[in-house]
Structures are given as structure tokens and as C-alpha cells.
Amino acid sequence: MRLLTHNMLSCNIKGVTNGFPLIIEAEKVLEKPVDLNPDFLRNMFHKVEWKALVDAAKSLGYSELPESVDPAMLESPEFLHRFHHALLELHLEEGALVCPETGRKFPVNKGIPNMLLHEDEV
Amino acid sequence: MKLKQLEGLLGDLQQFSNPKIELEQYPTGPHIASRMLYTAENSFGDVSDKVVADFGCGCGTLGIAATLLGAEHVVGIDVDAQSLEVASLNAEELEVQMNFVQCDIKNLQFRGLTIDTVVMNPPFGTRKKGADMVFLSSALKVASQAVYSLHKTSTRDHIKRAALRDFNASTAEVLCELIYDVPQLYKFHKKREVDIAVDLWRFVPKRAQ
């Protein structure tokens, strides 16, 4: 699972109001190279929750993203490269996503998070 | 990529080995899947360089078609672990990258409007009434550009009314009528193969304007 997917997932338990971002517990991380698309990144920059991405990347062992950003940085090839790597090339393969409000763990196996709810959570 | 080439690649995908009737699991054939995504891309520019979600992705046919047509990021969502496993293998086989999330569409909770386009072949709601409507309403909540979906032609008026009146669509258009050949998958199927008429829809959510 890419961190772009993580950036849109939020805890779906009924009644949870602060279910984003899910905390990552990483057991196995993969890197899968993919072509860099500058226009896509410039568009995504305005849609991603930056802090969530920075923290998620750190939990996968990548701490090259700046904590604070502004759109002018999109002119820098170096910045684009780091953003691209964190957003699209790092994959959480095994581990868990943890709800920040309830502590409920959603397991991730073979890169697929299991967000199925128990009966009393719907 | 040409339409025929896309259809050919999708024709090699593995499909459900033990389909589950309660989930109305029917494979999306390569003919329909290729036309759906090809139209989305070539007539509307809703696929390449976009973030695409495949709702109820099953074995991943529509999502994989999106990646083959140049989608930047594709997420397949399904409630069934076995389907996701097959879908994941299918993506690997074609050497395309696709993400998967195991989730019941009715409990899906996505932040923001990162997803541009939703493509889906939802359950038609023949076993569980209203299942198609759950998919449509969720899709129109998360898509920022467009939703492509298949529904039985016999439900056309109902779909249009619900999309425009209840699910916040600004337009709901039938792009074409297709023939869905349903193979004899389940025991209750009396005939070897049945053709049903389905509509290929394009919905635009209000916020896209």
C-alpha cells in the first residue's frame, strides 16, 4: 500500500470523529520504483494532508520530507523527487494501521489493509 | 493503447474460482471492461494521470484496465479477501501497480477529494435489494470528477432519479447499452448463459462543476 492510499484512509468505526490519520505500525516495507510525473505531483500537493504524509513516511523509515512546505517548493526537482518517493514508491507491505482515537488495529497483510468492522463497530 | 489490445490483456485475467452469490460476484468481461475504460479515457480524459478507485473490484478487471490506460494511482476496494488476492495476482501478472483495501463499501470512510474517478461494476441488487444504490451513493461522495458504472437497463429511470435527486449528481448520462453475458456460475442458474442488457453510465458529481 502506497502512502497516497494511507493519506485518504480514515478509521471507519461508527462514532469515531478523529479517525485520521491512521498510525502506521510497519513490519515490512517495500520500495517499488515508478516514473515521476511532475504535473501529477503538483496537483496532489494541494490534496494531500502534508503532516500525515511526513509522519507516515517516517514510520516507514523515510525522513527526508520537510516538516513544513509551501507551493514554491514544487519548482525544486529535489523536492519533487522526495515527495514522489514518499507518496508513490514506498509501500507498507506488512504491519497495521491504528485508529488514533480508539487504538483499534487494522492489520495489513501482503500490502492490503483489512478495514472490515466488527458487528458492534458499524 | 488500442481498444483491441486492452481487451486482449484483460481477457487473460484470472476470474473468481468460487464466486459468492451473496455478494453477487459476476466477472466483468473483457469486452465490457475495455469499452468502459476506453470511453472514460478517450471521450472524457478521466483516466490517465488520475487517481482512480474501483469499487467492488472483485478480481480487479476495471482497476487494472485503468492502470493500463495510464492512471497514476488506482485503488481497488472489495469486501472479499479471496477476490482481492486474485486481483493482486492479476496486477502482478500484468506488471502494473495497484493498491487494494479490504472494506465494505457501505462503511467506507475516505478523507478529502483525492479520488478523481470511480469505476465500478456494482452488484445489481437482485439478491440484496438496494446494494447497487449503496455503491452509487458512496461513489458520488468520493469522486471529484466522474463515476462510471454499470446498471441493468431495466432500472434506468430509477437510477437516473436516485442519482440526480438523492446522491448529488449534476448529470447522469447513459453512454451506451451493452450486453452482459452472464455465464452459468451458480446452481440456481437454469440456462447455460444468459444475456442481459446493461447501461454504461457516466455520473458527474455536483462539486466537479
Where in chain B are the domains?
3-208
Helix H segments across B12-118?
Answer: 30-42, 61-68, 81-93
**Residue A95, C-alpha cell as written in the block:** 504491519
Q: Mean of the pLDDT values across residues A70-78?
A: 95
Task: Give the span between the Cα atoms of B92 and B83, in whole angstroms.
Answer: 14
Residues of B with CB under 8 A from a CB of A: 49, 51, 72-73, 75, 79, 81, 84-85, 88, 97, 99-104, 107-115
CA distances (Å), origin B22, targets A33, A51, A65, A120, B19: 39, 41, 45, 21, 9
- Sign of the four-CA dihedral A66, A71, A77, A82: positive
Q: What Å distances lie between residue B51 and A110, B14, B91, B160, B185, CA to CA?
A: 22, 24, 17, 25, 33
Size of interface A-B (CB pairs under 8 A): 76
In this complex, which of B84, B107, B114 lies closest to A8 when CB atoms are compared?
A: B114
pLDDT tier at B184, thresholds 50, 70, 90: low
Say how many CA atoms lie within 13 Å of B121 toward its Cβ.
24
- Lowest mean pLDDT, pick from A89-98, B26-35, B41-50, B73-82: B26-35
User: Among B104, B107, B110, whose Cβ lies nearest the Cβ of A8?
Assistant: B110
At residue B209, the pLDDT reads 53
Distance between CA atoms of residues B129 and B65, nearest Å? 29
Q: Given the cut 0.85, state whether the ipTM is greater than it.
A: yes
pLDDT of residue B22: 79
Min Cα–Cα distance to chain B from A100, Å: 15
Q: What is the pLDDT of residues A18-43, one digit of tens each?
A: 999 999 999 999 999 999 999 999 99
**What's the confidence (pLDDT) of residue A108?**
98
Does 3.40.50.150 match the CATH number of domain B3-208? yes
Burial B166-202 (b: 16+ CB within 10 A, else e): ebebeebeebeebebeeeeeeeeeeeeeeeeebbbbb
- What chain A holds in terms of domains, given with CATH numbers, is 3-114 (2.20.25.10)
Which phi and psi (to 5°) does residue A12 adopt?
A: -110, 15
Three-state DSSP class for residue B35: helix
CA nearest neighbour of A12 among A110, A102, A91, A108: A102
Beta partners for residue B181, in sequence order: B195
Is the Cβ pair B49, A111 closer than 8 Å?
Answer: no
Contact list, A2 vs chain B (CB under 8 Å): 73, 99
Asked if pLDDT for residue A14 goes beyond 80, the answer is yes
| Among the ranges given (A27-41, A95-109, B41-55, B178-192), the one the predictor scored with the smallest mean pLDDT | B178-192
Selecting from B85, B102, B104 the residue whose C-beta is nearest the C-beta of A113 gives B102
Of the candidates B192, B180, B119, the one whose C-alpha atom is nearest the C-alpha of residue B152 is B180
| Residues B180 and B195: beta-carbon distance below 8 Å | yes
Mean pLDDT, chain B, rounded, equals: 91
The nearest CA of chain A is from the CA of B155 a distance in Å of 29
* Pairing, β A90-98 against β A105-109: antiparallel
